[in-house]
Amino acid sequence: MLCGSNVDNFLPGGIKQELFSQHHIIGGGYRDNSICPQCGSVDRNRWFMFVLIKYTDIFFGKSRVLHFAPEPNVSERIRSNMNCDIITV
């Protein structure tokens, strides 16, 4: 979703901590298929991009985005839309 690579598997990532598994925290803890071997994006980044593409029009028209705690690869992708003003905090 971020780099567009077609990979068979993602690399393991995250940290094994009981808190994450006890509370079923999505995007936290150790995951077998998390990191893209091509661009280094993690599953949380790709899920965020999926939601942005599917449920917003920030890549398809003029828009303004206020991005808190921006992930560099996600904010770079948003900035690729020349019609989008993005402010990162």
Q: Using CB under 5 A as the criterion, which residues of the chain lie in contact with Zn ion when the complex forms?
A: 3, 5, 36, 38-39, 41
- Quote the least distance from Cβ 41 to Zn ion, whole Å: 5
Q: Which is nearer to Zn ion, 73 or 88 (CB)?
A: 73
Nearer to Zn ion, 49 or 58 (CB): 49
Burial letters 72-85, b for 16+ CB under 10 A, else e: ebbeebbeebeebe
Residue 3 or residue 53: which is nearer to Zn ion going by CB?
Answer: 3
Q: Shortest approach of Zn ion to residue 60 CB, angstroms?
A: 22
The structure tokens listed for 6 are 């077609």
- What tokens were used for 3? 């780099």
